């Protein structure tokens, strides 16, 4: 319980660092091939910069801070994660729908090193992602593949692969 309170306090202090005008609330659900479920809620803040603009689109991105609940059977784990994510936004369609692809690497802190029978061996895990999505006005829907592991820093390194669906919206 003490670890969860510390993570929640850390979560609250980091969310206040995000500016109010460009925040989005994010909710996600996902599952691994061995039925480990993940439920996420978080905040996103888009980068203000656009790079490599062309008639096809531009490179940009966002920061994402999330609270994560991992669950399988009677086993659960709680964590927080922070990731910078780069997106390539396609603008050639010139419609209100804006498709994009994304990729990023961040970090996560977990309250325990176990989830069900899976031993991840470390409270700190890298959070890698690749995905695709579409934006419409203030909404953002995406599907991504995520991988959590300690990158071999501690043995065993039994990472977790998750397929996840996320919805973000401005508030």
pLDDT tens column, 28-53: 999 999 999 999 999 999 998 999 99
C-alpha–C-alpha distance, residues 88 and 99, integer Å: 9
| Tens digits of residue pLDDT in 108-160 | 999 999 888 888 899 999 999 999 999 998 899 999 999 999 998 988 888 89
* Six token digits for residue 25: 């609330």
* Domains parsed from the chain with CATH numbers: 2-170 (2.40.160.20)
Tens digit of each residue's pLDDT (9 = 90 or more) over 76-112:
999 999 999 999 999 988 788 999 999 999 999 999 9
CA dihedral (10, 16, 21, 27) positive or negative: positive
Q: Do the beta carbons of residue 98 and residue 135 sit within 8 Å? A: yes
């Amino acid at each position: 319980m003490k670890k969860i309170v510390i993570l929640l306090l850390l979560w609250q202090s980091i969310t206040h660092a995000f500016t109010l005008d460009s925040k989005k609330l994010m909710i996600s659900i996902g599952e691994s091939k061995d039925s480990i479920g993940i439920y996420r809620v978080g905040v996103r803040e888009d980068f203000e910069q656009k790079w490599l603009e062309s008639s096809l689109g531009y490179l940009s991105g966002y920061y994402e801070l999330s609270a994560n609940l991992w669950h399988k059977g009677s086993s659960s784990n709680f964590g927080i994660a922070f990731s910078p994510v780069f997106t390539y936004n396609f603008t050639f369609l010139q419609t209100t729908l804006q498709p994009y692809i994304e990729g990023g690497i961040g970090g996560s802190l977990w309250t325990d090193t176990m989830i069900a029978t899976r031993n991840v061996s470390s409270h700190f895990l890298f959070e890698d992602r690749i995905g695709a999505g579409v934006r419409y006005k203030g909404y953002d829907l995406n599907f991504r593949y995520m991988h959590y592991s300690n990158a071999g820093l501690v043995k065993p390194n039994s990472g977790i692969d998750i397929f996840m669906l996320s919805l973000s919206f401005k508030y």
